[in-house]
Structure 1
Amino acid sequence: MRQAFGGLTTRGRSFLAAGAAACVCAYLLGQSDLLRVGLLMAVLPLVCVLVLFRVRHQVTGGRSLAPSRVEAMSQARVSLRLENVSRLPTGLLMLQDQVPYVLGPRPRFVLDRVEAGGTREVSYRVRSDLRGRYELGPLQLRLTDPFGMCELTRSFGDADTLTVVPRVDPLPPVGLAGRAAGRGESRDRSLALSGEDDVIPRGYRHGDDLRRVHWRSTARYGQLMVRREEQPQRSYCTVLLDTRRGAYPGAGPDSAFEWAVSGAASVAVHLMERGLAARLLTDDGAGAPGRDSGPDGWSGADRPEATGTLLEALAVVDHSGNTGFTRAREALRDHPGGLLVAFVGEVAAEDAEVLARMRHRTAGAVAFVLDGRDDGADGARAGIDVLRGAGWTVLLVRPGDELADLWRQADRAHRQAADQKGFV
């Protein structure tokens, strides 16, 4: 009630003060008519406070997002729903939602009157050019009585989170990543149940299906042997994202770092759609901040919501204080092979040597080196030469370059290097 009386407007306080003064004067002067007027002026704002205080707790509000996850530079629709569950109609209402500055101006709606048991729905759109997680709310409702005596504000505690993920560009289906073995037309197979290293029939174990007994091997070895079975072999790809703060000049949605994040998301999603098991790795040796789709850190088409999990992790990735790639190299020690795609900023010769050693554990390596300056530094050129000398396919990314065109160039360069190696 103290907060309710604190909502008296200037008009309400004036009426209350004037009514009290009139009552005092009427008592001193013995004027009954003046007393009636004073009581009316003093009671009116008090009645408005009591009515609004009751109505405030009988008005409910909610919010819904459609969708709750959008790409950068895309819009999301926010719907607000207000319901009056009391038996009395409301007066003038002003609805206001708390929105971060990057999503646009704070939306405000004025509702003239909501009847008893009635509902009102309004909506607005938000858009962000910067990826991230943004909290919408709480929803604030300001109630005003018809006489303008009192204004009360109620905040609905629930808040919703809008996730703005990096933009994903469609990439052409080139042969750079190959086919996921065991899928489509590929006939490469690996062994199941007993692991990929079980290349010969093994001895019978308790619980094995008797229908898997390999009689020829049983007769040969003199003990029960079970045959091996086949399953599709998984093809792997690691997307390495350089997050070093000093490697990228500039900031903002058009910066080189944001291009690298968007490129990493596009390549990872493209490879996962082709059936590969993809993993996102940063220069600090950790996976994408926060979440992996599986216990082994790999995300693929066989894992539900794998793409969404990876994009949500990239939505909050930020610069790191690292100066090299030593931790990333250590994380690749148990790499099962496959393709390595790296998005790096300015890379010096000593950093390139660490990246060069990562090439030995992969079937192929492609590096997109972002050059945010008009003329590349000598150290960056030396680093690119080191990578190419170690067998990396290196493409220098200039401002305004399209990832789809660079992806085709990387495929052509990779095939040319493979043909030259086979010829030699």
Structure 2
Amino acid sequence: MAAAGPAPGGEDDRGPLRAAFSGLTTRGRSFLAAGAAAAVCAYVLGQPDLLRVGILLAALPVLCVLVLHRTRSRVAAARRLTPARVPAGSEARVHLRVENVARIPSGLLLLQDRVPYVLGPRPRFVLDRIEPGGRREVTYRVRSDQRGSYPLGPLQLRLADPFGMVELSRSFNAYDVMTVLPRIEALPPIRLGGDSKGHGEGSQRTIAVAGDDDIIPRDYRHGDDLRRVHWRSTAHRGALMVRREEQPLRARCTVLLDTRRGGYVGGGPDSPFERAVSGAASVVSHLAGRGYEVRLVTDAGLLLPGPGGQGADAAETTGLIMDALAVVDHSPGQDFTDAAGAVRGGDGGLLIAFTGTVGRREAAALGALRQRANAAVAFVAAGQLDPAFEADRLRGLLGAGWTALAHPPGVPLGRLWQQAALELSAAGRGPY
């Protein structure tokens, strides 16, 4: 919820009252001019009744300015976005709440929220007078087919008095951020990949205890089951010791995303690069849902989660990766040297890559990455160059030990996922 306080903004340089008088409409200025003219005529002609009329004409817009200026400074607004993170092509709702905290009713209100053009037209609402202490709520929808992070706001408010004498504007400072995630394609539940030891079921398994001497005990904590007391260590240390809980090992997968600008041709929501980003997001979502410990690496060296993030909460890690994929852009890199440095010290598992056009030098670098994984699958963007040339590039990855598949436009990733599982099985590397 983004909220804005009651202080007005945007006119402090001229002073609040002077800025308020600048909001007089043509009608308000006409009343002031008529009042001044009536006062002059009353003085020249010696007509005191005409002077009273002139004072009334001039006082009405001045009174409207003062009342509306006070009302403007006592109007609060808040925005709530639900949800704040949506997949591309999905809608989110924006709830605006305007509250009158003054002791007098407000005039006519015109609301306008600033929205990036990719989310749709700029919403505008007209609200009737709000009673003292009252509130009004309005809702509008935003939608984007293009991933990214988009600011919503600040909210702009225009107030008008019932007589149409003055219009004052107000801009709040608060804004929200809407994150549009890449498109996620559902993948078939096929075993594809292993954990750090090469046992791939996609589910957790526990460490087998070979014997009493292999257990590393820890200090007793209040609430521990007394049946887990390790008596030998207790006698040796002179303090109550218990067996450690069996720690689960999760199947691991590293998703490599090629962001090299030179590896892709074209742009837009259906470009090869956007297909690669969407594929990486689909694999992360699919494997995380099956219990894998997933991390994301790019050719530029981006590693999520970082070195200290292993074993973090799965939902938090997945959200971190998805947020990064929502805003990832092309890199100026030419090879995968930084990616190799980011995954240095890896302990096996499954390696899945989404790449653009790969030459011999890049294939050699990917071959070095392949040596650190139990199985490696590459989905290479196709349809950018001559088919024979692209087939030659695929053979280069195959020679480097990868299971390489062309990823042309219009072909569902789920079909390629099944094909990768079949090829790994035929090669004696799966299912993992």
Fold equivalence (TM over 0.5): yes
Contact 1:201–1:214 (Cα < 8 Å) also in 2 = no
Does residue 346 (structure 1) correspond to residue 357 (structure 2)? The answer is yes
Query: Is the aligned partner of 1:33 residue 2:44?
Result: no
Q: Report Cα offsets for 1:234-271 as digits up to 9, x if no partner.
A: 32110000001121111111111111111101101211
Measured at CA, do residues 29 and 139 of structure 1 come closer, stay the same or move farther in structure 2, by a change above 3 Å? same
Distance change >3 Å, CA 276–CA 234, structure 1 → 2: same
Report how far residue 85 of structure 1 moved.
1.9
Distance verdict in 2 for CA 1:406–1:67, change over 3 Å: same
Q: 1:370 aligns with which of 352, 358, 381?
A: 381
Q: Which residue of 2 aligns with 1:222?
A: none
Equivalent residue letter for 1:338: G
Match of 2:405 in 1: 395
**In the alignment, what sits opposite 1:145?**
161
Deviation at 1:140, TM superposition (A): 1.2
Distance verdict in 2 for CA 1:352–1:187, change over 3 Å: closer
1:390 to partner: Cα distance? 2.1
Residue matched to 2:321: 310
Q: How far apart, CA to CA, are the structure 2 residues paired with 1:63 and 1:231?
A: 44
Alignment of 1:131-280 (within 5 A): 131-178=147-194, 189-190=206-207, 201=213, 211-212=229-230, 230-280=246-296
Displacement after TM superposition at 1:112 (Å): 2.2
| Cα distance change of structure 1 residues 43 and 227 upon mapping to structure 2, 3 Å threshold | closer
Aligned-partner Cα distance in 1 for 2:359–2:319? 34
| Structure 1 residues 164-193: Cα deviation after superposition (integer angstroms, max 9, x where no partner) | 11122111111212579899897965379x
Tell me the secondary structure at the aligned position of residue 418 of structure 1.
Answer: coil
The SS at the match of 2:377 is strand
Distance 1:188 1:88 in 2: 67
**TM (normalized to structure 1)?**
0.86
Q: Distance in 2 between matches of 1:203 and 1:112?
A: 73
Letter in structure 2 aligned against 1:140: Q
**Partner secondary structure for residue 83 of structure 1:** strand
Moved more, 98-107 or 171-180: 171-180
**TM-score, length of structure 2 as denominator length:** 0.85
State how far apart, in whole Å, the 1-side matches of 2:370 and 2:333 are: 21
CA shift at 1:199, angstroms?
A: 9.6
| 1:45-124 → structure 2 map (5 Å cutoff) | 45-124=61-140
**1:376: Cα distance to partner?**
3.3
2:24 is matched with which residue: 1, 5, 8? 8
Secondary structure, counterpart of 1:346 in structure 2: coil
Higher relative contact order (Cα pairs below 8 Å, separated by 6+ residues): 2
Q: Distance in 1 between matches of 2:307 and 2:380?
A: 31
User: What amino acid is the match of 2:230?
Assistant: R
Name the amino acid aligned to 2:193: A
Cα distance, 1:180–1:419 mapped onto 2, change above 3 Å: closer
**Mapped contact 1:201–1:228 kept (Cα < 8 A):** no
> What amino acid does structure 1 have at the position aligned with 2:84?
S
Query: CA separation in 2, counterparts of 1:9 and 1:262?
Result: 52
Counterpart residue type for residue 33 of structure 2 = A
What's the CA shift string for 1:79-128, capped at 9, x where partnerless?
Answer: 11111122222221101111111111100001122222222111100001
Residue in structure 2 matched with residue 221 of structure 1 by the alignment: none
Instruction: Choose 384-393 or 369-378, whichever is displaced more.
Output: 369-378
| Structure 2 SS opposite 1:33 | helix
CA distance, structure 2, for counterparts of residue 207 and residue 299 of structure 1: 23
**One-letter amino acid of the structure 1 residue matched with residue 352 of structure 2:** V
- Name whichever of 363-372 and 176-185 sits farther off: 176-185
Query: What residue is the counterpart of 2:421 in the other structure?
Result: 411
Q: For residues 146-170 of structure 1, what are the alpha-carbon distances to aligned partners after superposition, in whole Å with 9 as ceiling and x for unaligned?
A: 1111001112221111111112211
What is the aligned length? 401
How large is the Cα RMSD of the aligned pairs?
Answer: 3.0
Mapped to 2, the partners of 1:260 and 1:419 lie a distance apart of 24
- Paired with 1:203 and 1:177, the residues of 2 have a C-alpha distance of 30
